[in-house]
Amino acid sequence: MTETKTPIIAFDQVDLSFGDTQVLKDIDFQIEAGKFYTLLGPSGSGKSTILKLISGQLEPTSGDVLFEGQVMNDWPAEKRPVNTVFQNYALFPNMNVFDNVAFGPRLKHLSAAATKTKVVDMLHLVKLDDYADREINELSGGQQQRVAIARALANDPEVLLLDEPLSALDYKLRKDMQGELRHIQKELGITFIFVTHDQEEALAMSDWIFVMNDGIIQQNGTPEDIYDEPINHFVANFIGESNIVPGIMKEDYLAHFVGKDFENVDAGMRPNERVEVVLRPEDLDLTSVEEGKLVVTILEQSFRGDYYEVQAVDDDGNHWQVQTTNSSPVGERVGLTFDPEDIHIMRFNESEDDFDARLEQYEDEKPDEN
């Protein structure tokens, strides 16, 4: 029998309210040790609030926050095996790089030799070996961010919390630091919980993503699951670009939208149920009118380097965004083509629990192929 590991962090039906304002609603999840998790959502969705509950800056109104199976609602922040890297880095400006990184080990009364070894190791990890004597105001934003990571890791946390630590960096440095953080997490093997509103960042870095909105976890899964199988309109719209049109699921594997029937790979819904149909721009392509599954008129076209981003409209007034290597002049009528597996069907406002229950019921009820 396979032994079930206790999650390193768990939330059990956690609610949080400030007066009459409910900030988090029935948050329920588990975090496994040694993985890179991301809390993804727009501003005000509750992402950073979850980090504050883990770090001890806030206590839940109801429900429990657990560490390795033990309720830690009333544990003081300094007793929790976590450290936080903040958006503004929160470095000590009156200390140089060495002293900033050494701050935690010194609080723990490590010997001078052990502290020096720890600082040297952490600065090497973040590629700042030669910066120990630098003053904080002599560093670039990217270097300060590396110091903040080194300082947090010098405390040997079991969980590292990262609250939008890359948001102040320019695009290229941000991309570089995404790779650096992923490398550090893999090398150390500790749990990272990362907060961002950047969908591309979450997809690139994470083992597992929690998509949040209005204090609720809308969906969680691997980056591939979240992108390829969004469960509701918010997730489909928030994660990447989407074409979303209304439709009817006539039967398993057959949907009706924009006036036509299309085979697809979705099942488990009621016959003739109203649904929303999602087609990602990169899954669409332009072809001749004769070969197209739909006919559209090109409204706009912009060159993006390795593809053209095209805005088009069909005869029913539905707008389509297409990412294609085929160029077409504005005003031209062309065919739009896609494959059955590119069509994703969503129920209206379906929750993740509803989605899982529907799939489970479908698996139980579908005929035995043997």
Name the band, by pLDDT with cuts 50, 70 and 90, for residue 173: confident
Q: How far apart are CA 123 and CA 151, in angstroms?
A: 9
Name the band, by pLDDT with cuts 50, 70 and 90, for residue 282: very high
| pLDDT one-digit tens code per residue, 92-127 | 999 999 999 999 999 999 999 999 999 999 999 999
Token couple for 151: 């300082």
Burial 190-221 (b: 16+ CB within 10 A, else e): bbbbbbbbbbebbbebbbbbbbbbebbbbbbb
Indicate if the pLDDT at residue 348 is higher than 80.
Answer: no
147 contacts 89 by C-beta, under 8 angstroms = yes
pTM score, two decimals? 0.86
Q: How far apart are CA 298 and CA 289, in angstroms?
A: 12
**What is residue 349's predicted lDDT score, i.e. its pLDDT?**
66
